[in-house]
Structure 1
């Protein structure tokens, strides 16, 4: 009888865990929640000013996107300029539902009103000031699950300095968009003194390494130069095989995002969107209208205020049945999949 080497069963278990992952993931996708009705959202939001709508911690099989609704009262004095003053190593896109005011993001003021979008640069301090006489309410999508999953999630909040990782170290560190960059001595930032790149001319390996040394500096500049504010009145809907779509936040539009994209889809009453599936996450929030979606072989009825979480690589199509055009806020993880080379999209039926 052949003797198994020490640890054989454990190694076999781990190997089969990898082999079986794809099929197990299909089961997880099939059992993940899809529809979050407005009634549930309103009920929970009435007792809190922050309610998670899509998040792996509440049963969703989302690995990239977190989506929630948030609100805070008017007046900066009561909040002592500290309400929502924070930064994080995640991408974030905010859509204003109610109220008007402005945000300070990386030291720059951006005025907003209902229908506007804010794309917050990674690790930029930001706070929101409500100037209206009612609560400011917005929905936000971030890439928190991805950052937490790969172990690089940092949330520094002015209300909880005891949990700061970098901000407590240096005044300049609080202004940096790169975690830990400022604590590196100036002489060691970028290409260190004493190293002459000319000595390595023609070396591809050296160029790759020098790019690594200078990456953080370039990244910080690129983030500060990216777009932040999109006014709702400036949305431009254009015809696509999926229907009428207005791109909002996308690396192809000048936004410095690597993981998440945002658009708004519009479907006229009695019309339908195209049908497709893709190898990335998608979260929909119904801004106007009513109708239903076919996701794989299931039908989900929706109305204004509802949220849909589309499972990865699931066929889906939307139908507008109300008296006004349906508008759908769409967040996806498409840029992430493009950046790691796992981008697959298949088009089915074309939109009306």
Structure 2
């Protein structure tokens, strides 16, 4: 490593001082509203997902991306045969068109339009269509966070030569733990059972807990919920309006980074106003209206996407004749785990 000159050390120190203002300016210039018709036009021309929100295209969000995919039933039913693929990424998938099932770590989940599934970290998964010619879905994934941390791993049954852990046998491939040959509950590389735990020093017990963390984490994620039926959404009144939690650690989902909810505003009404220290992307499921984000007004309708800048005041207004519904993805669990969660409330909803 080259030794820096004194003035270069000073430059590094000043970058830290200036960072907050530069970051604020970047958020102000980043796109907030993504038009649905533009996304639909691109979907017709591409066989790959169309990204609405991603830091690589200048979006505000840094920890997760949001994209839409339109795949033929034939393609989805022939891509993978058994395992599918897995990644060091959490994902929430909302199905908009088609009917089918997803296999996550060997368990099949039937879905239809309006349903959501969550894909826990490093779970093998694949999707198949059983009714309709197309599968249209929207996905929020924490890929950008994994990439920035240098922890991104993607393994696909079609390309075993690129598997990082190079485990053999289908049972071994279902596990999160490198080097583990059995199903969850079996042994890791080091035998952790036996002996008198209380006889160990506090530091050694802490190390023992670290050794067993991956196994316990995998057990918890396999015991967590995966599927949410759109028909079962339970809206409850809040200061921000009517909200239904979809994917959240508080409701039995083993998700450490990302969460999902659906917000609803009746015709002619407005949501509450707040700002928060977490990222948020909102997809308009139904309705039309406008949002005031800081001092800017943004008109939206069904199919549009709003990318809310971190700690920006925002409030939504329904100007249409039907309920406005928002599919909201956020990284609130991640910020809470980091100890950075902060929310400020400005005004209650008017209903």
Question: Same fold judged by TM-score > 0.5?
Answer: yes
Q: Name whichever of 92-101 and 71-80 sits farther off.
A: 71-80
Does residue 248 of the first structure (1) align with residue 246 of the second (2)? yes
Q: Indicate how the Cα distance of structure 1 residues 13 and 84 shifts in structure 2: closer, same or farther if over 3 A, else same.
A: farther
User: Structure 2 matches for 1:149-188, cutoff 5 A?
Assistant: 149-166=148-165, 168-171=166-169, 172-178=171-177, 180-182=178-180, 186=187, 188=189
Give 1:125's aligned residue. 124
Q: Deviations over 1:170-210 (max 9, x none)?
A: 224411124x25279957435388x753431xx33233222
Please give the secondary structure, in 2, of the residue aligned with 1:348.
Answer: strand
Does residue 331 of the first structure (1) align with residue 329 of the second (2)? yes
C-alpha contact (below 8 Å) 2:180/2:189 kept by paired residues: no
Give 1:85's aligned residue. 84
Q: Indicate how the Cα distance of structure 1 residues 351 and 187 shifts in structure 2: closer, same or farther if over 3 A, else same.
A: closer
Give 1:41's aligned residue. 39
C-alpha contact (below 8 Å) 1:130/1:136 kept by paired residues: yes
Unmatched 5+ residue regions in structure 1? Answer: none
Measured in 2, the distance between the counterparts of 1:181 and 1:30 equals 46
Please give the secondary structure, in 1, of the residue aligned with 2:78.
Answer: coil
Q: TM-score, normalised by structure 1?
A: 0.92
User: Structure 2 matches for 1:196-215, cutoff 5 A?
Assistant: 197-200=197-200, 203-215=201-213
Q: Indicate how the Cα distance of structure 1 residues 226 and 187 shifts in structure 2: closer, same or farther if over 3 A, else same.
A: closer
> Displacement of 1:6 after TM fit?
6.3
Q: 1:27 aligns with which of 9, 25, 38?
A: 25
Give 1:225's aligned residue. 223
Measured in 2, the distance between the counterparts of 1:107 and 1:323 equals 44
Give 1:110's aligned residue. 109
Measured in 2, the distance between the counterparts of 1:218 and 1:187 equals 11
RMSD: 2.2
> Displacement of 1:62 after TM fit?
1.6
Q: Deviations over 1:8-28 (max 9, x none)?
A: 122212222222211111111
Measured in 1, the distance between the counterparts of 2:207 and 2:82 equals 41
Measured in 1, the distance between the counterparts of 2:156 and 2:80 equals 12
Q: Indicate how the Cα distance of structure 1 residues 26 and 188 shifts in structure 2: closer, same or farther if over 3 A, else same.
A: same
Q: Indicate how the Cα distance of structure 1 residues 84 and 68 shifts in structure 2: closer, same or farther if over 3 A, else same.
A: farther
Q: Indicate how the Cα distance of structure 1 residues 240 and 80 shifts in structure 2: closer, same or farther if over 3 A, else same.
A: closer
C-alpha contact (below 8 Å) 1:190/1:214 kept by paired residues: no
Please give the secondary structure, in 2, of the residue aligned with 1:301.
Answer: strand
C-alpha contact (below 8 Å) 2:94/2:138 kept by paired residues: yes
Does residue 319 of the first structure (1) align with residue 317 of the second (2)? yes
Q: TM-score, normalised by structure 2?
A: 0.92
Measured in 1, the distance between the counterparts of 2:9 and 2:191 equals 42
Unmatched 5+ residue regions in structure 2? Answer: none
Please give the secondary structure, in 1, of the residue aligned with 2:117.
Answer: strand
Give 1:144's aligned residue. 143
> Displacement of 1:57 after TM fit?
0.9
> Displacement of 1:233 after TM fit?
0.4
Please give the secondary structure, in 2, of the residue aligned with 1:20.
Answer: helix
> Displacement of 1:76 after TM fit?
7.0
> Displacement of 1:61 after TM fit?
2.7
Q: Indicate how the Cα distance of structure 1 residues 157 and 6 shifts in structure 2: closer, same or farther if over 3 A, else same.
A: closer
Q: Indicate how the Cα distance of structure 1 residues 191 and 241 shifts in structure 2: closer, same or farther if over 3 A, else same.
A: same
Please give the secondary structure, in 1, of the residue aligned with 2:250.
Answer: helix
C-alpha contact (below 8 Å) 2:275/2:312 kept by paired residues: yes
Give 2:267's aligned residue. 269
C-alpha contact (below 8 Å) 1:76/1:130 kept by paired residues: no
